Amino acid sequence: MPISDYIRNIRAKIGSQLLLLPGVTAIVINDCGEVLLQLRRDTGTWAPPSGGVEPGETVAEAVKREVLEEAGIEIEPKAIVAVLSGADYNVTYPNGDQLASVTTVFRCRPLDAAPPRVNDDESQDIRYFKTDSLPENILPRHRRMISLALNSDARAYFDPPSA
């Protein structure tokens, strides 16, 4: 989905300056233990489905909406595995827009066996990958999120403070 009206209105006022926003990332793990990834059109890298939280929306609603918009499947958020922020989660998009995100990472499961599909203009491809054969062009932060979601430790992870 293209930029939301909410963000478009903010960007009209501040341009490409750094904007702090809440975000969500879905680590969707199917019954075969495979992880859902999308090949992002803007960066050309594989990544878990993710996006911004809209005003009035809970983070759980946002993660379900993002996966439905991007992959055409319904999911159930099972656990929050991490809340991540800081310089490692700042992004400058190809159009110059800067974003600092506080991202809630969810471990999720698909609600049915429907195969994922490219469902919007953000993705070039979307599919499940075996966890021992993830694509090479995946960002380190996304590998870390997947690792945290696959960890059996039930506690949510929080980045330590910067030194």
Assign 70 to helix, strand or coil: helix
Question: What is the dihedral sign for C-alpha 155, 66, 52, 35?
Answer: positive
User: Model confidence over 48-99: pLDDT tens digits?
Assistant: 999 999 999 999 999 999 999 999 999 999 999 999 999 988 989 888 999 9
C-alpha–C-alpha distance, residues 139 and 121, integer Å: 20
Q: For residue range 33-42, what is the model confidence (pLDDT) as tens digits?
A: 999 999 998 8
pTM beyond cutoff 0.85? yes
